[in-house]
Structure 1
Amino acid sequence: MSTEPAETSLRELAPIEADAAPMRDMPVRRMPFAWFWPLIVGAAAALVLRIAFTGLPGQRFSAMLGSFIYLAPAVCGAVTVYMAEHIERRSWGYYIWAPWVSTALFVVGTLLVFIEGMVCAVVIVPLFGVMGSLGGLAMGIVCRITNWPKPALYGFAVLPLALGAVEPHWPNPEQISSTSRTLFIAAPAERVWHELNEVRDIRPSEVGDAWAYRIGVPMPVGAVTEDTAEGRVRKVQWQKDVHFEEVITEWQPLQRVSWRYRFSPDSFPAGALDDHVVIGGHYFDLRDSAYTLTPREGGTELRIDVSWRVSTRFNWYADRVAQFLLGDFSEHILRFYKARSETVAAAA
């Protein structure tokens, strides 16, 4: 029986297989802006977590808990890398820089939906970027060496929620810090002392370039020391109807004045500051301040001392931010008193 028909059929199939190889190598069409979708999905995942973490200060699911501050950006980075790996294998560099972009988009999203205020958003971006990159690297390693990236992703997402429910039951660490700055003023101590205890009509141009005010902290309007039934009290006014008192604890005319801060429930109206980091609140407080005047040839040396408290799971970061902002504020407030005192002294 002849096998020629079968052999002919096999030969006819050979060119078809050869032509199929180029078809397999043809690039697959992707969705428009496919490179951008992993970043958006990562940011959206973190935004969902932020909506979940809306608890009051010191309570479950507060946005100032370490379980949110550390793990929400890590989830953002992990989701970003997971989605990107579904499209194609990414580089180690991608695992680092892409989460930075997605966490930045996440922070912008919190501002757009009015969940977060500008002060916290600006301050937290560097830490979020680092934690996002760590989450992205972890997910990148999982995708490269295991076959279970999806369970790992679920673990990333559930962990902050689980910890956010129990973390408030743990003792909260507390850290007390201080800063000091000194400046020479070409004016007598009498003039400087008067300005310290009766300063009015502060213009934004006189203090506005301090970093605290640039990122949204209300600017000071005035401060006047008054005699009250309990003693001397310095009454302070800021923009946005912020007001509080500084109770004098040391009074040495022309030499030194110090006080402790006293805040009332209405000191910071809604929207004046980010609600979960209000001064005098659960996580941050100004404790006391002092001005010391030392006569020098041709004028007066003025020193300011400021102390504060931070109570967070990330004090190592929060305290450094406070050191920078309050140190910068101290330098600018000394320059303000220098300009006011020297102007009046020159006119006199």
Structure 2
Amino acid sequence: MSDTPTKPPTEPLEPREPAAPSPWDAAEDPSRLPFGKFAPILCGMVFGVLLRLAFSGAPSSRWSAMVGAFIWLAPLATGAITVYLAERQQRRSWAYYAWAPALATALVVIGSLLVLIEGLICAIVILPLFTFMGMAGGLCMGLVCRLTRWPRHAAYGFAVLPLAAALVLPQGAPAQVGQVERSLWINAPASVVWQGINDIRNIQPREVETSLAYRIGVPPPVEAVTVQEEGGAHVRKIRWGKGVHFDEVIQDWEPGRHLRWTFRFGPDSIPAGALDDHVAIGGAYFDLNDTAYTLTPEAGGTRLHLRISYRLSTDFNTYANWWAQALLDNFALTVLQLYKTRLEGSA
């Protein structure tokens, strides 16, 4: 009998299945991580710019940059793609899901300016909406990454959503009419004010520098002179900077009391590049219907009342109307202040 101790028998170990690789560990695997720290944001920007190039069609077409499929869904998709690429690196915070897509969509607007497919006015107006929708897309994708196992499929869905929507959504934006009214007391008699609003020349940029519209790229006014055409009709001849010129055809003419006009544009009224195509007066998306001055004697002077009526035709009229109200209200106040300064001095 051997004195050599024997080892207790051992039970065979059951083979274990290897743990499924987690996409959130990709940051430790360089072969699966072709992205740098800021690359998700830059890739999101490139994706958004490519969408902008895809939506470069003629005004009112389904591939115009003003259709709802682009305005609402392109930044949503940009934000989602940004977060998806970032999540392939590592788990991100909820704050990241918001600020990174906001930055990516802001860079889309800047990139569109750099490649000369967007004007400054449109860029400034659309930036807040784009960043908000980009944040919404990023938060949605972040939720998908945390709650599901199919973030890649969701990313593909977000990527094609703007293009698919452009193909199926009906064309034709609803028209919305709005107006802005402002008044200002001028220490001058109505006769002086009447003469001034019908003949004002050599307007200097410093005289209208408070206007937000002029600060973001709308050409400033140079002169407005009323003439009488053959047949007796009165017409205000308007000249702005950058070669913009058009007629204001008088519809109501009550000397010293009331003046109302509609607008008449010729083929060369707005030279190329003078105004962004998407906000050009008389265009598919924005127009001025009519404008009126009313003069009322008050406290030894004259209260000058200005009313501006306009039309919007976009797939985002509620948002566009907020901007129209803000810019036209500021414009009206600037014009009234111009007349006040000029006419009180002459009086």
Q: How does 1:189-204 map to 2 (within 5 A)?
A: 189-204=190-205
Shift, 1:2, TM fit: 12
The answer to whether structure 1 residue 292 and structure 2 residue 297 are counterparts is: no
Q: Deviations over 1:279-310 (max 9, x none)?
A: 10111101100011111123111110001000
1:268 counterpart (242, 267, 270) = 270
* Matched residue, 1:320: 322
* Matched residue, 2:185: 184
Q: How does 1:241-252 map to 2 (within 5 A)?
A: 241-252=243-254
Once structures 1 and 2 are overlaid, which stretch shifts more, 272-281 or 246-255? 272-281
AA aligned opposite 1:221: V
Shift, 1:29, TM fit: 8.4
Q: How does 1:29-40 map to 2 (within 5 A)?
A: 34-40=36-42
Shift, 1:211, TM fit: 0.3
Shift, 1:79, TM fit: 1.0
Shift, 1:277, TM fit: 2.4
Cα 1:3/1:37, change in 2 over 3 Å: farther
* Matched residue, 2:129: 127
Once structures 1 and 2 are overlaid, which stretch shifts more, 140-149 or 59-68? 140-149
Q: What is the distance in 2 between the residues matched to 1:171 and 1:64?
A: 11
Q: What is the distance in 2 between the residues matched to 1:319 and 1:56?
A: 22
Q: Secondary structure at the match of 2:319?
A: helix
Shift, 1:207, TM fit: 0.4
Q: Deviations over 1:185-217 (max 9, x none)?
A: 111111111110011111000002210001000
Q: Which runs of 4+ in 1 moved over 6 A?
A: 1-4, 29-33
* Structure 2 gaps, min length 5: 8-24
Shift, 1:34, TM fit: 3.0
Shift, 1:32, TM fit: 11
Q: What is the distance in 1 between the residues matched to 2:280 and 2:127?
A: 19
Q: What is the distance in 1 between the residues matched to 2:125 and 2:296?
A: 35
* Matched residue, 1:18: none
Q: Is contact 1:286–1:307 with CA below 8 Å preserved after alignment?
A: yes
Q: What is the distance in 1 between the residues matched to 2:95 and 2:327?
A: 32
Q: What is the distance in 1 between the residues matched to 2:115 and 2:318?
A: 29
Shift, 1:237, TM fit: 0.5
Aligned pairs, how many? 325
Cα 1:232/1:146, change in 2 over 3 Å: same
The answer to whether structure 1 residue 89 and structure 2 residue 88 are counterparts is: no
Cα 1:166/1:29, change in 2 over 3 Å: closer
* Structure 1 gaps, min length 5: 7-24
* Matched residue, 1:9: none
AA aligned opposite 1:195: G
Q: How does 1:98-247 map to 2 (within 5 A)?
A: 98-167=100-169, 169-229=170-230, 231-247=233-249
Shift, 1:91, TM fit: 1.1
Q: Secondary structure at the match of 1:128?
A: helix
The answer to whether structure 1 residue 331 and structure 2 residue 321 are counterparts is: no
Once structures 1 and 2 are overlaid, which stretch shifts more, 129-138 or 27-36? 27-36
Q: What is the distance in 2 between the residues matched to 1:76 and 1:33?
A: 17
What TM-score do you get using the length of structure 1 for normalisation? 0.89
Q: What is the distance in 2 between the residues matched to 1:212 and 1:68?
A: 25
AA aligned opposite 1:182: S
Q: Which has the higher helix share?
A: 1
Once structures 1 and 2 are overlaid, which stretch shifts more, 227-236 or 28-37? 28-37
